[in-house]
Structure 1
Amino acid sequence: MSFTGPGAALARLLVLVLIAGFVLIPIVATGLGGLKTLGELRTNTLGLPQEWIWDNYADVITRPEVWRMLGNSLNIAIFTVLLTLAVAAPAAFAFAHLKFFGEQMLFNYLILGLTFPFATAILPLFLKIRDLQLLDTHWGIILPQVAFGLAASVLLMRNAFRHVPTELVEAALIDGASYARIFWSIVLPLSLPIVSTVAIITFVQSWNNYLLPLVVLNSPENYPWPLGLMQFQSLYSTDWPKILTYITITILPAITVFLLAQRYIIAGLTAGAMKA
């Protein structure tokens, strides 16, 4: 059976259009839902608004607490990215270019963390955060995010670091360079695509994290952006158009980051696909 030719190209195009539809339809429906009244949202969920209600977006973006939560999310995401890179990059370099006893066992133990969903650890994680007196603080979110993101970050960086020619590393060792100097001056500059990819993925995951801040934080002034959804819910009613408006505004930064950094992400993820 042949997978080349105009027919195969058309089939691939149809599959891609179908996948894009599954992704884009909920996003477009969410954005349009914020432009409808509650009654129209119930009767005309997926269609275009009969009357475009821009006041929903104006009301959301003019609330001072929204911008405070935006600052909290940026603070949490930036520190999460910096700490993740600071820990994952040296660890990945060690696994890629250093040989030591128990190397493979330690690496396998680290990667084992990828098999456990975050939600399964929420109770013991809450108890540990409480014991460390980090409840209702941003550090109670940042540190667990770094810990749970290390396995994937180290795996991606290790594969990319191994792509750096060993001849360069060996030549630097012969010239008397330390492993720290090799890491900073040779490996890291040659691996900027994967570093950028890990930073972007970590930022977006932190930005979209809802469960951990919900469990850790109690004070509204410490809430990150995703928890702002609760301000449109009360005991007896839910303002769904405002919620859809808020969700649309929430996901726009993540979509924008992915679109702007798409080629860096692709370059980073494929950097370790083949060993030179």
Structure 2
Amino acid sequence: MTVTTSYKRQKAFDWSQPWVYLVALFVVVISVGPVAYIWIGGFRTTADINANPAGWPTPWSIDSYVTVLTSTRFWGSVFSSTVVAVGTTAGVVILGVMAAFVIARYTFWGRGGLYALFAAGLMFPVTVAALPLSVLLRDLGLQGSFVGLIIPQVAFALPVTIIILVPFLRAIPAELEEAAVIDGATRVGFFWRIVLPLSGPGLVTVGVLAFVNSWNAYLLPLLVMAAGGMPQDLWTLPLGVQQFSTQYSQNTGAVLAYTSLSMVPAIAFFLFAEKRIVGGLTGAVKG
């Protein structure tokens, strides 16, 4: 047991290729550095930031975070972002798994073309659809509403969702379906009782991706909410950051505090489901 433990400790780091760790460390610094700067900057006063932008808080102050947490607009933006993110995630998971199940498990004419159509959706940027989407939502009376934002976000998230779920669902053995049919299960019963439980990691993966993308979305909320006349108190957090930075342009610490607090739910949700995301993507690659 001692030899095995010692061997594992020796193999924890392979220093035969030190450049790999240097590159990894560089990537971590590049990724975490800006986020850490924003978080720490929220504890600094504006005068301190102007005097030394790259320094540590002198002294540490929570006034900026108190200003943000006592702002009604911040909590209104949190409410809007939560409603939109949850609605988008639910729509993406429900519609995505149903469409992926049909493409993965049914044989019909045009199945390959349908899958290719969803794959082509990955190359369709939101900016191209900005003008026609705004006109369509205005004609439907959905501009300036939560529903008018959730529906387009679900549509733009479905391609990557189906690309991930189709190989995952194809990997489910056909013997399970045959056994379910022998036991008297219908297609719907097989989908509900067997496919959904086995697809848990994949569903969590696409759900987290949809939630984070919705939480961080800026262009679609700008087109639907800001241009649609929705009250500023109900703008989502990315728009709220812009509005807050305009209102408190002289209070840099408060702007950094607002920005850092707006990241918390998305980061926490992502970290909570990190292992399931890796499992879901692994299953999709194997399939």
% identical equivalent positions: 35
Q: Determine the structure 2 residue equivalent to 1:263.
A: 275
Query: TM-score, normalised on structure 2?
Result: 0.88
**How far is the alpha carbon of 1:240 from its aligned partner?**
2.5
**Equivalence for 1:213:** 221
- Is the counterpart of residue 98 in structure 1 residue 106 in structure 2? yes
Q: For the Cα contact (< 8 Å) 1:89–1:157, is it kept in 2? A: yes
1:116 is displaced (CA, Å) by 1.6
Choose the corresponding residue for 2:120, options 104, 112, 134: 112
Deviation (angstroms), 1:244: 1.2
Equivalent residue, structure 2, for 1:197: 205
Whether the 8 Å contact between 1:36 and 1:241 is mirrored in structure 2 is: yes
Task: List alignment gaps of at least 5 residues for structure 2.
Answer: 1-12
Moved more, 45-54 or 126-135: 45-54
Instruction: Tell me the amino acid that sits aligned with residue 7 of structure 1.
Output: S
1:6 maps to what in 2?
15
Counterpart residue number, 1:241: 253
Aligned with 2:240 (options 202, 218, 228): 228
Distance 1:43 1:143 in 2: 46
Give the conservation status (yes or no) of the 8 Å contact 1:57–1:245: yes
Q: CA deviation at 1:99?
A: 0.5
8 Å contact 1:138–1:222 — kept in the other structure? Answer: no
Going from structure 1 to structure 2, the CA distance change for 1:43 and 1:122 (only over 3 Å counts) comes to farther
> Partner residue of 1:273?
285
CA gap 1:182/1:143 in 2 versus in 1, 3 angstroms: same
Amino acid in structure 2 at the alignment position of 1:264:
R
Three-state SS of the structure 1 residue aligned to 2:285 is: coil
Tell me which stretches of 4 or more aligned residues in structure 1 moved more than 4 Å: none
Q: Which moved more, 1:23-32 or 1:11-20?
A: 11-20
Secondary structure at 1:139 match in 2: helix
Tell me whether 1:69 sits opposite 2:82 in the alignment.
no
Deviations 1:43-83 (A, max 9, x none): 42232122222100011011122212211111111111111
Partner of 1:53: 61
Instruction: Give 1:35 shift.
Output: 2.0
Contact 1:30/1:245 (CA < 8 Å) preserved in 2?
A: yes
How far did residue 202 of structure 1 move? 0.8
Residues 117, 44 of structure 1: alpha-carbon distance in 2 compared, 3 angstrom cutoff: farther
Q: Which residue matches 2:262?
A: 250
Aligned equivalents of 1:37, 1:120: Cα separation in 2: 41
Cα drift, residue 250 of structure 1:
0.7
In structure 2, what is the Cα distance between the partners aligned to 1:131 and 1:48? Answer: 52
Q: Matches of 1:87 and 1:147 in 2, distance apart?
A: 10
- Conserved 8 A contact 1:137-1:222: no
Q: Could you tell me which amino acid in structure 1 is paired with residue 246 of structure 2?
A: Q
- For 2:138, the equivalent position in structure 1 comes to 130
Residue-pair matches, total: 270
Partner SS, residue 269 of structure 1: helix
Q: CA deviation at 1:36?
A: 2.1
Q: Take 1:197 and 1:263, find their aligned partners in 2: how far apart are those partners? A: 9
Residues 232, 159 of structure 1: CA spacing in aligned structure 2 closer, same or farther, 3 A cutoff? same
CA distance in 1, matches of 2:219, 2:51: 31
Q: Please, what is the CA RMSD of the aligned residues?
A: 1.8
Matched-pair contact (CA < 8 Å) for 1:162–1:272: no
Shift of the 130–50 alpha-carbon distance from structure 1 to 2, 3 Å rule, reads: same
Report SS of the residue matched to 1:85: helix
Partner residue in 2 for 1:37: 45
